[in-house]
Every structure is written in structure tokens, then in C-alpha cells.
Amino acid sequence: MSVLSKVDATTNLAKNNELQLLVFKISNKEDSAFYAINVFKTREVVESKNHFLTQIPSAHPLLEGTIILRGLQIPILNLPSWLGTTLTKAEIAESNILICDFNGIIIGLRIMSAYRVIKKNWNEMHAPDSYRIKDEGVVMNDTRLEDGSLCLILDYEKLLADVVPQAMVDVYESPDNLKDLALPEKLANGEVLIAEDSRTAQRHLIQIFKHSNIRMKLFDNGKKLVDYILEMPDPSLIPAVITDIEMPEMSGFTVIQTLRKNPTTQNIPIIVNSSMTGNNNKREAEVLGANGFIDKTKSHNIIPLIVEAMKDLA
């Protein structure tokens, strides 16, 4: 039975501030760390030996080549190498490829083995400041397995930005979208609040708002954003809230639920900005009360989406 065969529905997880992670290893060494990825960014795990790898001339060193799977040409990224581990030829032959979906772009990550699927509450996900000291840091947050082993969640958006930049947003497209766009006074003079834990995505959003001449304030997770809002004397002054879905302590879905249940915040426009672009996630965000959903490759369109949401709520 596939390790991915038993996965709960997104809806049930969202209501309980939970997520499911596929835990894997990139090496067979005894001291090899455990890593994890949200199962809703994964499609399947295939054996490397069953798929011919076509190399790409002058490609990024971490882009091993492509394979053909179910009619799709899928780029394969060398995750062990990105993490400073070199596999032997024997290990490569024994390795697996984790097929993932980021922003609708299908890629394969070389791993050694898929371990299991675990369920966690977002408040069990920890993001110590040490992970965020340097821009080149690759770990986003961590959690513990049942036996106490540390399990690391990586900044996959940084990997994509490094190796497959077309999978990320073009932050310089923003100004053209605003030429004929009349900004509501509340947006032009206010401060948009954003919950986003990826340093890569944060940098993109900073550039987008800078080029748009709109003020914004960033929070590393949903709980920090919600706590800040609930301590404000008048939350109605907030022109909009932007939230990612995957964040330690409090997910974006819980951010939406919390703000919609509070009379002082229930009318704030909320936009979800996520790389988890499946229909289930979009539907769940809408059901919970989000006013818009945009995938991270299209974040340059986020200002027009905010304006539209504000008009709809006016």
C-alpha cells in the first residue's frame, strides 16, 4: 500500500488547525535527518530506477534533468545536494522521486525513501528564530515524531526560486497592473497586514508592495498576525489581510475562522496567497470566509484582487 494512500480531506484538517505531513529521508545513513512536506503538495512517490533521466544542457546544477511520467515531462531536483548531501551511484539507483505540485507546476524531488504520513496540529510546528537568521537558511520549521526524533520542514519555495524561478512570482510585473487602477483611500493610506512564514515569499511581497507604494506589515505566522489585530484599538482601519495557508502555530484557515468569528474583525477583506492551489483548498478558503485566493506565481496581481474585494464589501 502506498504511503500516501491514506490522507484526510483538506476540509477536516482545516477545521481543526491540523495538517498532514509526508515524512521522508534523503539518505540511508543512520544519523540522517527526517524531513517533511505537506501531503497536499505531493502526488506520488516513484522509484528512480524505473524512469529514464534526460539531462538538460547548461541547466542549474541542482536540476538533474527530466523524466516522462504519465505523459508529463517533469524536472527532477536534487534535494540531497541542496541540503549538502552527496549520494553514491548505488544510492541514486536505490532512491525514489517525490512528485510534487507547487503552484500548479509539477516537479520531482529526489529522496531516498518515504517514511510515513503523520498528522499534526499547527501549534505543534515550531519556527525558532535560528532558522531565520540568514537569508540562505533552508529550514522553515520543525516538529517531533512519536519517538522524539526531530523532523524538519524545508523552505521549498526557496528551492524553487533558486532552481526553477518560473515557478515563482515575477515581482516586477506589479506596477503595470496599477496604471489604471483607482486605489480606495483606505488602501492608499492604510497598512495591509500579511501572515507569511517563507522568507522567499516575504521578499516577493515586500517588492510587490514597495512598487505599488502601499504600506504593509509582515508577520512570520498567523498567530502573530491575529494577536496583533485583536490588540488594535480599531481593527476596522485595516484595509486588508493577506495570509498564507501553511504556517506554524496557526494556519491560514484558522486565521480566517478567527477573524470571521470576531465582530470587530469579521468585515476585514481577507486574501489567501498560497502555493497550495488545489480546488479543495480554494473551496475551503471561500467557505470559511476568504474574499479571494491567489497562487504565489500570480502574486503580482494581488493589489487588484484586494481592490476588488474591498469594492465587493463596500
Beta bridge partners of 36: 23, 153
Three cell numbers, residue 74: 517533469
Q: Which domains occur in the chain, in start order?
A: 10-167 (2.40.50.180), 171-313 (3.40.50.2300)
* Distance in angstroms (rounded) separating the CA atoms of residues 187 and 212: 11
User: Identity (one letter) of the amino acid at 209?
Assistant: F
Q: What tens-digit pLDDT sequence spans the chain (314 residues)?
A: 467 766 676 667 766 888 899 999 999 888 889 999 999 889 999 999 999 999 988 889 999 999 999 999 999 999 999 999 999 999 999 999 999 988 778 999 999 999 999 999 999 998 887 776 666 778 889 999 999 999 999 988 888 888 877 666 555 554 555 667 788 899 999 999 999 988 888 888 998 899 888 999 999 999 999 999 999 999 999 999 999 998 888 999 999 999 999 999 999 999 999 877 777 788 889 999 999 999 877 777 889 889 998 887 76
Cut 0.85: pTM above it: no
Look up residue 77 and give its DSSP letter. Answer: E
* Distance in angstroms (rounded) separating the CA atoms of residues 4 and 27: 20
Instruction: List, for residues 242-299, the tens digit of each pLDDT value.
Output: 999 988 889 999 999 999 999 999 999 999 998 777 777 888 899 999 999 998 777 7
Residue 286, helix vs strand vs coil = helix
The alpha carbon of residue 51 and the mean position of all alpha carbons in its chain are separated, in whole angstroms, by 28
Beta strand 34-38 with 150-154 is parallel
Q: Tell whether the torsion through CA atoms of 155, 159, 161 and 166 is positive or negative.
A: negative
Instruction: List, for residues 118-141, the tens digit of each pLDDT value.
Output: 999 999 998 887 776 666 778 889
Residue 261, helix vs strand vs coil = helix
CA dihedral of residues 79, 75, 132, 39 (deg, nearest 10):
-80
Q: H helices of the chain, where?
A: 10-15, 79-82, 89-94, 156-163, 174-177, 185-189, 199-212, 222-230, 252-261, 279-288, 302-313
